[in-house]
């Protein structure tokens, strides 16, 4: 061991060897003063010293002094050189690994663990490069092997709008209030809400599964859509389907967000009596119970309520009960916190559609007006007074009398009062 004076050199932190092509990059601070030795200083002392692993991802750690810092930098550069040659296809992978391993063992002869760690990471670097080359070659081969039809299909796929990202529902402003309000919902409303959310994920698939079920009752196709969406059923359509002898050929085609209906037939029968309402409601109730089994009791109680209204109302005013029923079911179908048996929530609708002072009732009452013909009959026909009217007195809309004294038997120019 040398007995000369040795200057304590602080090692300079080195950059990772693979840094986008700059092989000799350093983050050095003081390369000059800290690595200088006085004459006579030996560089191979085996006593105490710090060492580092020359791995591609090594950070700032203390290293063993190998003479001076440029020697370590040269070792890193020597490891990077085979990698760059391999990327440029100048040497094989085996040759590159052999050169890297030789460089590492020469740089760290006393640290086999560090050599193995660094060598393993260099292997990963080379394998990643091979993987990228393989992917690029596969894409190129697929592109060359595509037929004109496939290329056209790919162009159409690219021209289509990309699938919209699913929004974060937790950011909706009503989510918090819905969570609080859900505590107050009845078990039936909670079950209905859960089923509606399930059906709305794939409405067409849900409807297809339902109508292909062996237990599915006969029901108009359009009204199945309303039931699965939680909307009110059109009892006129249900009654029409009950008496119809032809198929409902309604067809819906979707173009983007636009739905176009073909073959839609307007209801030919209108519910106008208690008997017709009962026929239509029984069918609608059975279909609704198919999609929402827990609502069977609610539907039965509501039917009793409406039938009691029919019984308590004169038959001449049953149309008002039918309109009240439509208004109730429309309100329940547009909300998710109401049941058909929440009768106290429909007091305003009952007043509007059934009471004599209701706004809807007053609007339907005929307004007595004086016929325009009777008003015009009180006016003298000026054309007759001028000798120009060719109509008989019974056919003319105006009176064939004097337009001055309003008396018959003479015309205006012959009126005695003007002479």
Whole-angstrom distance, CA of residue 83 vs CA of residue 56:
11
Cα-based distances in Å from 89 to 83, 119, 129, 136, 394 = 10, 20, 11, 15, 113
The HSE-up count of residue 94 (CA atoms within 13 Å, CB side) is 0
Is a pLDDT exceeding 80 seen at residue 403?
yes
Specify whether the CB–CB gap between 8 and 62 falls below 8 A: no
Query: What average pLDDT does this structure show over 53-68?
Result: 40
Per-residue tokens: 310 = 């029919």
Query: Model's pTM, two decimal places?
Result: 0.49
Q: What pLDDT does residue 58 have?
A: 44
Whole-angstrom distance, CA of residue 63 vs CA of residue 342:
82
The three-class DSSP label of residue 163 is coil
Sorted by where each begins, the domain ranges of the chain are 1-28+49-140, 199-364, 375-414
Query: What average pLDDT does this structure show over 341-364?
Result: 88
Report which of 131, 140, 78 is spatially closest to residue 107, judged by C-alpha positions. Answer: 78
Is a pLDDT exceeding 80 seen at residue 18?
no
H-run or E-run covering 253: strand 251-255
Percentage with pLDDT > 90 across the chain: 33
Q: What pLDDT does residue 150 have?
A: 58
Per-residue tokens: 318 = 């049953």
Per-residue tokens: 83 = 């990698």
Question: Could you tell me the end-to-end alpha-carbon distance of the chain, in angstroms, rounded to an integer?
Answer: 160
What is the per-residue DSSP string for 373-388?
HHHHHTSB-HHHHTT-
The three-class DSSP label of residue 346 is helix
Is a pLDDT exceeding 80 seen at residue 271?
yes
Query: What average pLDDT does this structure show over 86-100?
Result: 88
The three-class DSSP label of residue 149 is helix
Task: Indicate the length of the chain as a whole number.
Answer: 419
H-run or E-run covering 259: strand 258-262
**Where on the phi/psi map is residue 263: left (φ > 0), alpha (ψ -120 to 50), or beta?**
left
pLDDT band at 216, cuts 50/70/90?
Answer: very high
Q: What pLDDT does residue 37 have?
A: 41
Is a pLDDT exceeding 80 seen at residue 347?
yes
Query: What average pLDDT does this structure show over 79-107?
Result: 87
pLDDT band at 61, cuts 50/70/90?
Answer: very low
Is a pLDDT exceeding 90 seen at residue 113?
no
pLDDT tens figures, 376-395: 457 889 888 888 888 887 78
Specify whether the CB–CB gap between 316 and 271 falls below 8 A: no
Per-residue tokens: 208 = 């297809």
Query: What average pLDDT does this structure show over 213-242?
Result: 94
More confident residue, 251 or 299: 299
pLDDT band at 163, cuts 50/70/90?
Answer: low
Is a pLDDT exceeding 80 seen at residue 44?
no
Query: What average pLDDT does this structure show over 105-124?
Result: 82
């Amino acid at each position: 061991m040398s007995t000369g004076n040795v200057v304590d050199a602080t090692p300079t932190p080195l950059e990772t060897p693979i840094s986008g092509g700059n092989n000799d990059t350093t983050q050095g601070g003081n390369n000059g003063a800290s690595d200088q030795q006085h004459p006579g200083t030996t560089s191979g002392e085996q006593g105490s010293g710090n060492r580092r692993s020359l791995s591609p991802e090594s950070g700032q750690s203390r290293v063993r002094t190998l003479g001076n810092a440029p020697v370590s930098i040269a070792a890193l550069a020597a490891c990077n050189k085979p990698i760059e040659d391999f990327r440029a296809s100048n040497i094989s992978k085996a040759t590159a690994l052999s050169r890297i391993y030789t460089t590492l063992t020469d740089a760290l002869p006393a640290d086999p663990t560090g050599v193995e760690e660094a060598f393993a990471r260099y292997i990963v670097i080379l394998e990643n490069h091979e993987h990228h080359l393989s992917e690029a070659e596969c894409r190129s081969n697929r592109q060359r092997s595509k037929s004109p039809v496939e290329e056209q299909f790919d162009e159409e796929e690219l021209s289509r709008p990309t699938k919209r990202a699913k929004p974060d529902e937790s950011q909706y402003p009503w989510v918090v209030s819905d969570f609080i309000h859900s505590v107050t919902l009845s078990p039936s409303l909670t079950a209905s809400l859960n089923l509606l959310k399930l059906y709305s994920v794939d409405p067409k698939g849900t409807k297809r599964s339902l109508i292909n079920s062996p237990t599915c009752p006969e029901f108009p196709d359009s009204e199945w859509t309303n039931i699965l969406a939680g909307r009110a059923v059109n009892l006129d359509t249900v009654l029409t389907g009950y008496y119809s002898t032809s198929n409902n050929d309604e067809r819906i085609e979707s173009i983007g967000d636009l739905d176009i209906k073909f073959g839609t037939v307007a209801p030919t029968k209108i519910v106008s009596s208690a008997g017709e309402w009962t026929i239509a409601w029984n069918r609608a109730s059975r279909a609704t119970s198919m999609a929402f089994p827990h609502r069977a009791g609610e539907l039965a109680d509501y039917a009793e309520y409406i039938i009691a209204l029919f019984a308590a109302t004169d038959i001449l005013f049953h149309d008002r009960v039918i309109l009240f029923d439509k208004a109730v079911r429309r309100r329940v179908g547009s909300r998710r916190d109401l049941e058909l048996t929440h009768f106290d929530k429909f007091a305003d609708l009952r007043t509007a559609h059934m009471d004599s002072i209701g706004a809807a009732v007053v609007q339907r009452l005929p307004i007595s007006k004086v016929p325009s013909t009777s008003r015009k009959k009180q006016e003298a026909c000026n054309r007759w007074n001028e000798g120009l009217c060719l109509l008989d007195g019974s056919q003319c809309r105006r009176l064939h009398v004097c337009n001055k004294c309003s008396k018959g038997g003479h015309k205006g120019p012959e009126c005695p009062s003007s002479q």
